[in-house]
C-alpha cells in the first residue's frame, strides 16, 4: 500500500511539474510576443520621427497607423491595471491625432503629437516598472 501511495505522489509531482513547465513556456511565449510588439512600436516611432524631420507627411501618417495597429495588438498584454488601460488608450488617441495631423500636412501639430506620444510611452513604461517592483517586493 505504501508503494502505491508513493507512486501516486510521484506521478502527481510529474504531472504538476509538467503543468508548471507548460505555464512557464506560455508565459515565455507571451513575454517574447510582447517584446516583439514593443520593438516594432519602437521602430515605427523612429520612422515617424524620421518623417517629421524630413517633412514626409505620407510616411508620418503610414507609420502612425502602424503604431495604432501595434498598440491595439499589445493592449492588455503587459498589465491589467486601470492606469495601464488609460495609457494604452491615450497612446492610441495620440497616434490617431498624429496621423490626422500628418494627413492635414500640419508639421508643427504632428511634431507636437509625436512628443505627446513619446511622453505617454515614458509614463507607461515607468508605471510598468513600478508595478513589477511592487510585485517583486511581495
Question: Which residue's entry shows cell 502505491?
Answer: 4
Domains present along the chain, CATH in parentheses = 37-137 (1.20.120.10)
Kindly tell me if the per-residue pLDDT of 74 is higher than 70: no
Rounded Cα–Cα distance for residues 132 and 84 (Å): 13
Query: Of 38, 41, 34, 89, which Cα lies nearest the Cα of 65?
Result: 41
pTM: 0.75
Residue pLDDT, tens place only, 83-107? 999 999 999 999 999 999 999 999 9
Q: According to the model, what pLDDT value does residue 23 have?
A: 47
Cβ–Cβ < 8 Å for 112, 60: no
Q: Does 22 have pLDDT greater than 80?
A: no
The average confidence (pLDDT) of the chain is 84
Query: Computed over its alpha carbons, how large is the radius of gyration of the chain?
Result: 22
Amino acid at each position: 500500500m505504501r508503494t502505491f501511495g508513493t507512486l501516486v505522489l510521484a506521478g502527481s509531482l510529474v504531472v504538476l511539474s509538467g503543468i508548471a513547465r507548460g505555464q512557464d513556456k506560455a508565459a515565455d511565449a507571451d513575454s517574447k510576443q510582447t517584446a516583439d510588439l514593443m520593438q516594432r512600436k519602437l521602430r515605427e516611432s523612429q520612422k515617424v520621427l524620421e518623417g517629421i524631420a524630413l517633412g514626409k507627411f505620407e510616411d508620418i501618417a503610414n507609420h502612425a497607423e502602424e503604431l495604432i495597429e501595434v498598440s491595439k495588438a499589445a493592449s492588455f498584454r503587459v498589465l491589467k491595471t486601470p492606469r495601464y488601460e488609460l495609457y494604452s488608450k491615450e497612446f492610441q488617441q495620440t497616434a490617431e491625432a498624429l496621423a490626422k495631423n500628418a494627413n492635414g500636412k500640419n508639421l508643427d501639430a504632428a511634431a507636437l503629437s509625436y512628443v505627446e506620444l513619446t511622453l505617454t510611452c515614458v509614463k507607461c513604461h515607468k508605471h510598468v516598472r513600478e508595478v513589477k517592483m511592487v510585485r517583486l517586493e511581495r
